[in-house]
Chain A
């Protein structure tokens, strides 16, 4: 799968999790850039991503993600 394709799919999930139709994610987007991105929505987003791509992140991966790019890289590596 291509990077841009993964990003687009995560973007769709984010729209739902953060309840914001106008959200546009980039590789360097961090939790600080999105108003409602907190510890609750963080796990909601990641669990939805896991379901969408049929993968499982490890606990330490979940704790370490710094931005969207790292999540994408992790998905592509699985």
Chain B
């Protein structure tokens, strides 16, 4: 079920009502009801993969429990490996198997050896990359003795399947979420209103900003050989706002919806487009993924490679970011996307001290604008990869972009009025983000007087009705 679908408009109030007024007598009942609601939410998309979520949950529930019971180091290691193999194995089978088979076959073909490789007819179960990471972190945290396993299977199933964050995160840690499911939740007006504001803002970003951009982005990327350099530049800029509006919009709706149920999810975006380095960008973009990989991938690798000194840090960084890229999908474009980010972050690590010195010498505002521009420029360049279907397309797009026609006016794509209001809305969007960058989110208006507050709400509802696209556009991150 999509957040931006008609069914969700019925689903949410019904679940909300039952949760707070019918099953509110005991915690277990509420959690059990959340599992049913969440499995229904997911099953609406494809009920066949419900078994996979259940399987992934059960495995980690029992392995987690067992790890805490045994003291013997070797047994603990075996249990951890079992969890890693079953989680990553499932992910591999559904998401990466075909990619590896096809690449092996073509590798051998290029060496003159004909291989017969059979690929699987599988579709990617939605959300698999998110919930396998979530269950994995549970087992690893128990292994590291950072948390204790939960003895309550109902709570654990609710933690894994909690519908606001099931299909595209934030990738929660058991240490944050499970304790919230174990205590009594009370509805407060403050949380309810804050949740509703986040949902409103998330919808604005998704159906107004992202989905309006999507129309032009698809048009430009699908016909890139016929476009001028400036149109291609505009295409990738529009894509930047599409992907940001889409994913951060989704996250805001998820965090807001969870708040309606008295659950606090982690922050996933912190105005990433105002970053002055790629390092900073990853601290503000998809925070739940970047911190996940920092804790479970980067840190363990860098500790192993500590004897190499700086070289170890660089290798760990590049490797971690390449894997972040690959996490997005079984396609070379994502691998190269991640690799480029890893290389730039390594450059930033190696020049930290030097850049600090430059910063002191140059005018502060100038340094800020330059850093912002360079960061954005690099980011846009890598977004071409992110949006392209193949590496060949990405190279082609870039070649057509770096052309004399870059210095012409971009082509206006029909319908003209739609292009104009999309660009105007983006400008309004950037300004709103800029002037509210020190707040939690743009619609953080709890302190305004009632009259003004409702003025703001009405305005955004109106903007959504007038400019929103309601053709059930999927969220981009659902495919990852």
Known contacts A40-B313, A43-B306, A47-B309; is-contact A60 B298 (Cβ 8 Å): no
Nearest-Cβ distance from residue B299 to partner chain A, whole angstroms: 6
Which residues of chain B from 349 to 407 have a CB within 8 Å of any chain A CB?
349, 352-353, 356
**Contact-residue size bin, chain A (C-beta under 8 Å from the other chain):** 10 to 19
Residues of chain A with a CB closer than 8 A to B353's CB = 19
Q: A62 at the A/B interface (Cβ < 8 Å)?
A: yes
B303 touches A62 (CB 8 A): yes
Interface membership of B144, Cβ < 8 A? yes
Instruction: List chain B residues, Cβ under 8 A from A32.
Output: none
State which size class the interface on B falls in. 20 to 34
Which B residues are CB-close (under 8 A) to A36?
352
Within 8 Å CB of A47, what residues of B?
306, 309
Hey, which chain B residues are within 8 Å of A44, CB to CB?
313
The B-contacting residues of A in range 4-57, CB under 8 angstroms, are 19, 36, 38-40, 43-44, 47, 50
Measured CB to CB, the closest approach of chain A to B353, in angstroms, equals 5
CB contacts (< 8 Å) of B222 on chain A: these are: none
Minimum distance in angstroms from B127 CB to a CB of chain A? 27
Contacting residues, chain B, for A59 (C-beta < 8 A): 299-300, 303
The CA-CA distance from A38 to B282 in the complex, in Å, is 12
Q: For residue B349, which residues in chain A have a CB less than 8 angstroms away from its CB? A: 40
Interface residues as binary, B285-313 with A (CB distance below 8 Å gives 1, 0 otherwise): 00000000011001110110010010001
Closest to A16 in B: B353
Contacts of B184 in A (CB 8 A): none
Cβ of B294 and Cβ of A39 under 8 Å apart? Answer: yes
Q: How far is the CB of A56 from chain B (nearest CB, A)?
A: 9
Is A1 part of the contact surface with B, judged by Cβ < 8 Å? no
Please tell me if B145 contacts chain A, counting CB pairs below 8 Å.
Answer: yes
A43, B352: Cβ atoms closer than 8 Å: no
CB neighbours of B300 from chain A (8 A): 59
Q: Which residues of B contact A (CB under 8 A)?
A: 144-146, 279, 283, 294-295, 298-300, 302-303, 306, 309, 313, 317, 349, 352-353, 356
Interchain Cβ contacts under 8 Å between A and B, 11 examples: A19-B352, A19-B356, A38-B283, A39-B294, A40-B313, A40-B349, A43-B303, A44-B313, A60-B145, A63-B146, A64-B146
Question: Which A residues lie at the B interface, using CB under 8 A?
Answer: 19, 36, 38-40, 43-44, 47, 50, 59-60, 62-64
